[in-house]
Structure 1
Amino acid sequence: MKRLFYFFPLLIFYGCNSNTEIADRSNVQWQDIEKDLQTALIMASDGDTINLPEGYFKFSKSLLMDEKSNIVFKGAGIDKTILSFKEQKEGAEGIKIADCKNIILEGFTIEDAAGDNIKVTDTEGITFRKVKAQWTGKVSEENGAYALYPVLCKNVLIENCIAIGSSDAGIYVGQSDSVIIRNNEAYQNVAGIESENSNHVEIYENIAINNTGGILVFDLPGLTQYGEDIKVYKNVVKENNHRNFAPAGNIVGVVPPGTGIMVLATRNVDIYKNEIIDNRSAGIAIISYELVAAISEEETKEANEEQAGSAQRVNNNYSLDENYNPYPWEIKIHENVISNDKWFATFQHDFGKLFNFKYPFNPPDIVFDGFIADGKEAKDVLCIDQEDIHFVNLDAPNELENMNEKIEDFLCL
């Protein structure tokens, strides 16, 4: 029998004032429903809905849900039901869900978890809908890695959500299959939206603004699976020029500020009909893990491994994964609007400085690092349908000796 859980605390609650600064919680009257809500998550049966009213609710430890099916966790709406973990003393995640099936998270704001705001693992059927996940105050490398973080999941839907302030990726899907990420907004994260080692992923009609990198499609070594069949289309990827505040050694620390879309060592990626506007360093970057390892080697040695948390680190021993291919291939780029009114690439990263030196007043629209796997040709790696764009081949295998703007070998008009 379906049951509904409602929480009506005895304290008077205050609705969210849309004009209030997000960092200003000084006049909020917090309510404590921690014990009752955790009990409801433990006792929930198949088909239950857990409803939360409007108000501000504080928590000192992670909320946990394991081995449940067909559960709806629903608030009164974004910025109406607000769950704060700013005073968290136990656990890393705000909400952690594991080994479940057909879970819906909808209609609330979650803030300031010690680690990830929401982590979902080993779950088949997970929906994030109209959820805002953020860190308040100024962005910092001490912020949690991921705002929304499904990993090792199947049938993932993330729609109409907002992610702000993650020190890794705002909306992240890792080692998962059959994923849709649509109609979301990502601001002031290191990576706005990221697909990592995931298969059959569609990322469309999202807005990524003022992140370090707008949308990332990564494939990393040493994980449970490799990713392919990714479609990135009809997104607005604009002004992703935020400073990179990832902790030292994290893989996203290699992303130069001003990167619109970056593809790392992934195969069968289709990038089309996106608006890629005013990203200072590069509209689209296609790179290999060879380059990542080379530019990160010294930083990785110095990084404090105890601070790694849930974020993926640079792996300089990637060659030990015999099944991992560090090179991208079958990357199709077509029908995009790529423009940049910024005269200079970033000065916060070596590649930005290089672009300013080599191509002053003309940062590249598309950058390719030049690594091509043995037995592959240029068009096996990268296929571009526009010849009137600024393309740069870094020639990284030869230490940038023959860096060039020759797009001909990559055109497929």
Structure 2
Amino acid sequence: MKYIPILILILVFSCSQKEETPVTWKSIEGDLQTLLIQAQDGDTIAIPEGNFMFKNPLILDGLSNVIFQGAGMDKTVLSFEIQESGAEGIRAANCTNLTFRDFTVQDAPGDNIKVTDTNGIRFTNVKSQWTGEPSEENGAYAFYPVLCKNVIVENSIAIGSSDAGIYVGQSDSVIIRNNEVYFNVAGIESENSRWVEIYGNNAHDNTGGILIFDMPGLTQSGHTTRVYDNDVISNNHNNFAPEGNVVAVVPPGTGIMMMATRNIEVFNNRIHHNKTIGTALASYVLVEALGAEEGSQLDAANNMVNEEYDPYPNQIYFHDNEFKNKHWFPTFKNDFGLLFMRYFPFNLPDFAMDGIMPEGEEFVMCLENNGEFNFANIDAANDFEGRTTDWSAYACNSGTIAPIFQ
């Protein structure tokens, strides 16, 4: 293994000087690009303390056992505010056992860090952010591993994403733990991913705290997710997703939302002061109907529904969660909020389901030990006529999911 500090090329010059030449963004960009192009399996690429700006993306391709590290989360800052080419700030593909740690990346025009087709990706102590006010002009994803296996995102911070702060898509064997996410549309989103554990996170001041979605037209369907020991607090930020994006349907004030997914266990979470809905369970049918507009992502996805896609959630075990809500009114800027205000005024649901059930398949959901909480089945399948707040039909124990990672 080689340890390659970015200072190496600069120090060759500075050793002949009486005073050390400072590392600047102008000197580091070319040197770092060169090191990444020349990197070999097993290398550690170390970036010193400082604030550095880049006009081009940083790219890692086809590498194994490479560590990309800074001097500390708030000590090494990589800014793509002046980026002229490419969309992502950092892009990695076709790698094995890749580690990012101890730096901040910010203000890419697209995604801050995107990793694709990689087996073994770990983010540790990384801050990924947009530094201005939350805006639809911000990039979609702060952390964006997609089509990956063995993913870990830990002890990191995501701020300001116009889609999801920590997003994991179409990936297997995922751990998202001990992170802080805020001022994003979605704090954490697992989409079409399998064998996922989301725990120990602090999701606050997003539009929606934690989303578990399954969308049609992708490479795989998701299943088997455990969401536990998270603080999902005051996710009441306005939704600033670009019009037509799937997450644009998420109402401000959403704690946890599960859509068209299955074999999910949600437990021991503190779901507090999310003004519209503590936890929502929805089918893709309802979300598409409420949120789709011509030309949107939802319309495109709907056109790709095939026999392998199941738009209904199932096998849900929701237990031992704690609810609090100091708010009297939901958002009035979203159809879900208006619906709750119409049918459940001054008694907003802590847990709501759309009531659109799978055909020809038994629906299994168990609610247990969640204290005194407000439940609502809105019966969207029948124009809300059979809506009810009685959850006794779901008072059961369906059995826990065995820990995915020992």
TM over 0.5: yes
The correspondence of residues 398-413 of structure 1 with structure 2, limited to 5 A, is 398-412=382-396
Give the partner amino acid of 1:3.
Y
Residue 269 of structure 1 aligns with which residue? 264
User: Cα 1:314–1:233, aligned 2, differ >3 Å: closer, same or farther?
Assistant: farther
Asked if residue 214 in structure 1 is aligned to residue 209 in structure 2, the reply is yes
Which residue identity is paired with 2:219? T
Q: Is the 8 A contact 1:176 1:197 kept in 2?
A: yes
Matches within 5 A, 1:32-181: 32-181=27-176
Deviation sequence 1:128-164 (CA, Å, 0-9, x none): 0000000111111011000000000000010000000
The 1:42–1:185 alpha-carbon spacing in structure 2 relative to 1, beyond 3 Å, is same
Give how far 1:344 is off: 1.1
1:375 aligns to 2:360 (yes or no): yes
Judged with a 3 Å threshold, the aligned counterparts in structure 2 of structure 1 residues 102 and 313 are, in CA distance, closer, same or farther, namely: farther
Superposed CA RMSD in Å reads 1.6
Matched-pair contact (CA < 8 Å) for 1:387–1:407: no
**C-alpha distance 251-99 of structure 1, shift in aligned 2 (>3 A):** same
The runs of 5 or more residues in structure 1 that have no matched partner are 14-28, 304-311
Matched, 1:352 2:337: yes
CA distance in 1, matches of 2:77, 2:138: 18
Q: Separation in 1 of the partners of 2:305 and 2:109?
A: 33
1:387 CA displacement? 6.9
CA distance in 1, matches of 2:85, 2:145: 21
Q: Aligned AA for 2:374? A: H
Distance 2:28 2:145 in 1: 25
Q: Give identity over the alignment, percent.
A: 55
SS in 1 for 2:381: helix
SS in 2 for 1:291: helix
In the alignment, is the contact (CA less than 8 A) between 1:246 and 1:253 conserved in 2?
yes
The 1-side partners of 2:298 and 2:22 are apart by 45
- Say which is worse superposed, 369-378 or 403-412, in terms of deviation: 369-378
Distance 1:359 1:320 in 2: 33
Which position in structure 1 is the counterpart of 2:255? 260
**Does the Cα contact within 8 Å between 1:122 and 1:153 map onto a contact in 2?**
yes
Residue of structure 2 in register with 1:233 after alignment: 228
Say whether the 8 Å CA contact 1:267–1:328 is kept in structure 2.
yes
Deviations 1:55-97 (A, max 9, x none): 0100011111100001000001111100000111100000000
Aligned to 1:6: 6
Query: What is the alpha-carbon distance in structure 2 between the residues aligned to residue 30 and residue 175 of structure 1?
Result: 35
Tell me if the contact between 1:93 and 1:113 (Cα under 8 Å) persists in the aligned partners.
Answer: yes
1:32–1:59: 8 Å Cα contact kept in structure 2?
A: no
For 1:264 and 1:317, the matched residues in 2 are separated by 14
SS of corresponding position for 2:108: coil
Partner SS for 1:295: helix
* Contact kept in structure 2, 1:32 and 1:57, CA below 8 Å: no
Aligned partner of residue 276 in structure 1, secondary structure:
strand
Deviation at 1:123, TM superposition (A): 0.3
The secondary structure found in structure 2 opposite 1:137 is coil
Which deviations, in whole Å up to 9, do the C-alpha atoms of 1:305-356 show, x marking residues without a partner?
A: xxxxxxx655453564210000000011000011111111111212212222
Seen in structure 2, the aligned counterparts of structure 1 residues 412 and 226 have a Cα distance that, compared at 3 Å, is same
Tell me if structure 2 keeps the 8 A contact 1:31–1:56. Answer: no
Residue 286 of structure 2: SS of its match in structure 1? helix
1:389 corresponds in structure 2 to 373
Q: Distance in 2 between matches of 1:389 and 1:248?
A: 33
Alpha-carbon distance between aligned partners in 2 of 1:158 and 1:91, rounded to the nearest angstrom: 24
| TM-score of the aligned structures, taking structure 1 as reference length | 0.90
TM-superposed CA distance for 1:377, in Å, is 4.0
Cα distance in 2 for residues equivalent to 1:50 and 1:341: 48
Confirm or deny that 1:322 pairs with 2:315.
no
1:101-149 per-position Cα deviation (integer Å, ceiling 9, x unaligned): 0000000000000100000000000000000000111111011000000
Amino acid in the other structure paired with 1:35: G
Structure 1 residues 319 and 58, CA, compared in 2 at 3 Å: closer, same or farther? Answer: closer
Tell me the number of residue pairs that the alignment of Structure 1 and Structure 2 aligns. Answer: 386
Moved more, 395-404 or 272-281: 395-404
Query: Secondary structure of the equivalent of 1:90?
Result: coil
| Conserved? CA contact 1:395–1:402, under 8 Å | yes
